[in-house]
Amino acid sequence: MENIETAKHYQFSIKFKNSLPWLIPVFLILIWQVACNASWVNETLLPSPIDVVTNGVKLFKKGELQENMSISLYRATAGLLIGGGLGFILGFINGVSHTARLLFDSTIQMLRNIPHLALIPLIILWLGIGESAKISLVALGCLFPMYINTYHGITSVDPKLIEMGKSYELSKKDLFTKIIFPGALPTILMGLRYALGVMWTSLIVAETISASSGIGYMSTNAEQFLDMKTIILCILIYALLGKLSDFIAKNFEDIFLNWRVIERGQSNDSKASGNN
């Protein structure tokens, strides 16, 4: 009897723990809805969540929402692949070669802090107003977090481990695939996680360059005509897409870094996920 009780209790506590991350968002939305129903806020300035969702359903039925979302997803993914890839390569080269580091690093650090909005005129001038302009802006955004983390990951691998590899007479290739890369991987994946976040924020800016499609276009267009329902819908979509990409990145970490989870052993995190 007691066993069943504790099992039940255990299950309950897992369920509770799994729902904990959603508690604040749900709570906020509830308050928001109540505030709208009780007309504490002006509905033209802050439409209720239900209005926002019905507006979303309406746009979905018209086919506008899916189209804009898939176009945005295409731009985001292409930008991430190009920018993230370049960032990884640069970070890798600079991590391994001291000469390359001296040559590239300070330039990249200078470029890193230029705000996207300031770059728009230049990008229009060089790349025009087509898809390539939008994608390159996203790529530029994704490049830096990937670069910094790859570079940092590779340079901060424990030198004792490299020393050990050398004393086992590992070849250069083995040294890299068995020690340096796995050692740098947690930081690199962290960079991917950052890049995924930057990807969405860059996209909003990118989609103000003569766009006639995409979520960023939808929201700037709605801004122009003060269509609060669509503005808030776009904000919610961004939030959800951000959460989704973070979720994927986190799972990447779990899959590729399984040795790390085992090391941690009986930590709370792995217990919870192990019982899902």
Partner 1 sequence: MKKIKKTFVSVVLLLWCGIAIYGWHLTREDAGNSSLKNVVIGYQAGDEFYISKIRGQFVKKMKDKGYNVKFKEFQNGAAMMQALASGNVDYARVGDTPPVSALASGTQLTYIAAGGTKEKGSGILVHKNSSIKKLADLKGKRVAYTKGTSSQYMLLRALKVAGLSNNDITWVNLDSDAASVAYSKGKVDAWANWDPSVAQVEITENSKLIVNGKTTGALNRSFIVSPTSYAKNNKSLSKLIIKYTEQDMKWANNNHSKLINKMSTDLKLSKKIVRRTVLRRTYSMQEMNKDIVKEEQEIANVFYDNNILTKKIDVSKHTQYLR
Note the residues at the interface with partner 1 (CB under 8 A): 42, 44-45, 67, 69-78, 120-121, 124-125, 128-129, 131, 208-213, 217, 220-227, 230-231, 244, 248, 251-252, 254-255, 258, 273-274, 276
Do the Cβ atoms of 79 and 137 come closer than 8 Å? yes
CB of 228 to partner 1, least distance (A): 9
CB of 220 to partner 1, least distance (A): 5
CB of 211 to partner 1, least distance (A): 7
CB of 37 to partner 1, least distance (A): 19
Nearer to partner 1 among residue 141 and residue 165 (C-beta): 141
Nearer to partner 1 among residue 171 and residue 273 (C-beta): 273
With 0-12 / 13-18 / 19 or more C-beta atoms within 10 angstroms meaning exposed / middle / buried, residue 100 is middle
Nearer to partner 1 among residue 15 and residue 250 (C-beta): 250
Tokens of 88: 């990884």
Task: Output phi, psi for 275, to 5 deg.
Answer: -100, 5
Nearer to partner 1 among residue 95 and residue 141 (C-beta): 141
Nearer to partner 1 among residue 111 and residue 244 (C-beta): 244
Tokens 């945005």 correspond to 72
DSSP for 176-210, written as a single string: IIIIIHHHHHHHHHHHHHHHHHHHHHHHHHHTTSS
Mapping DSSP to helix (H, G, I), strand (E, B) and coil, where does residue 239 land?
Answer: helix
CB of 75 to partner 1, least distance (A): 7
Cα angle value 210/215/81 (rounded, 5°): 85
Nearer to partner 1 among residue 151 and residue 253 (C-beta): 253
> Which 8-state DSSP code applies to residue 215?
H
CB of 73 to partner 1, least distance (A): 5
Tokens 């669509």 correspond to 230
Query: What burial letters (b/e) apply to 8-21, b meaning 16+ CB within 10 Å?
Result: eeeeeeeeeeeeee
